[in-house]
Chains A and B, each alone.
Chain A
C-alpha cells in the first residue's frame, strides 16, 4: 500500500465482510509526543479467539478468496518499520478494534494520503454508519454519516453530489485543524 489511507480502506473491508453496521475510524496525530495513531473499531462478528494470532498471518483466510490476513500483515509490517506496532483486540460488546501506531516523524512512516478518497468509497457501503474523527495536536474534526443523513434528510449518501460536498467538507476541516 502506498499510503495509510489505502490501508484504512483495506482494513475496513474486513469490517464490512464481518457484517459491521458501524465503523469508527479515528486518527490521532500528536506531533509533540511523536505519535500517529489509527484505530478502526467495528461492530462486526469479531475474531474468534482461537484465531487472534493468525489474523496477521499473510496466508490466513476465512474463505477460499478472502485474504483477511494479508492486509493486516502489511499494516503490521509498516507500523513496526515506523517505530510503532499493530494491536488487534475484540471490542465490547462485539466487533474488532485494530490499532496501528507509528512514530509521527519516522522516516518510514507512510504519509496519510487522501483520506477523503477512502471515505468516499466507504460512503457507498449500504447500511453503514461511519464515524471518522481526526485529531491533530488537540484540534479535532468529526464526521458522522448519521448526522449527515439527518441534516440532508436522506439515507442515500452515495449520491455523487452529496459525496462531492462531503469530500469538500473533509478537506476544508482537515486543513483547518492543520492535518492537511
Chain B
C-alpha cells in the first residue's frame, strides 16, 4: 500500500481499518477504560504538552493498551506542566506532573500496565482555587 494522500486512498483503507480496529465510539463507555487527560492550555502548550499527548497516543497504540486520551483545560497545577491525569478503572484519578516522554513511558509501563506507583504524583489534597470554592 502506497502513501495515503486522498480521500479515495482513505476509502480504500476502510475495510482494512474496520477489520483490524475497533471503531466503536469509545466515549460511550469511558468508565471501563483507562482515561488519560492532558492539560492543554496556553502555558501547557508552551511547555510541551502537545508532544507529551501525541507521544502517549502513539505509544499506547504501539503497546496495545486500550485507553481514551483527551485534552482538557488548565488543571490548576501549572507549576508542574505538562500535567496528565490518569484514571484506571476502579481507582482514584491520579495527576502526574512534569510529564515528558520519559515520564510518560514510565506511567504507561509501570502505572497503567503493572499497577505500580511511580514518582511525580501531585498530591490530590492540593486543591486548586477553583475547586475549593
Contacts and interface: CB of A to CB of B under 8 A. Distances in A.
Interface of A: 1-2, 6, 9-10, 13, 17, 63-67, 70-71, 74, 117-118, 120-121, 124-126, 147-148, 151-156, 158-165, 168-169, 172-173, 176
Majority DSSP secondary structure for residues of A touching B: helix
Contacts of B61: 160-161, 164
A64 B26 CA distance: 31
6 contacts: A6-B50, A9-B45, A13-B40, A71-B42, A125-B71, A147-B7
Contact of A152 (B5, B17, B130): B17
Contacts of B57: 120, 124, 160, 163
Given A63-B130, A121-B53, 7 more contacts: A13-B71, A65-B129, A124-B57, A124-B69, A125-B71, A161-B20, A165-B10
Contacts of A152: 10-11, 13-14, 17
B19 to A, nearest CB: 11
B26 A70 contact: no
Interface residues of B, number: 42
Contacts of B23: 154, 156, 159
B3 A172 contact: yes
A9 B13 contact: no
Given A66-B73, A121-B54, A10 B7 contact: no
B24 interface: yes
A60 to B, nearest CB: 12
A21 B21 CA distance: 26
Interface in B16-30: 17, 20-27
Contacts of B69: 124, 158
Contacts of A120: 54, 57
Contact of B128 (A65, A71, A148): A65
A161 to B, nearest CB: 5
Given A17-B73, A65-B130, A168 B54 contact: no
A158 B70 CA distance: 9
A173 B24 CA distance: 29
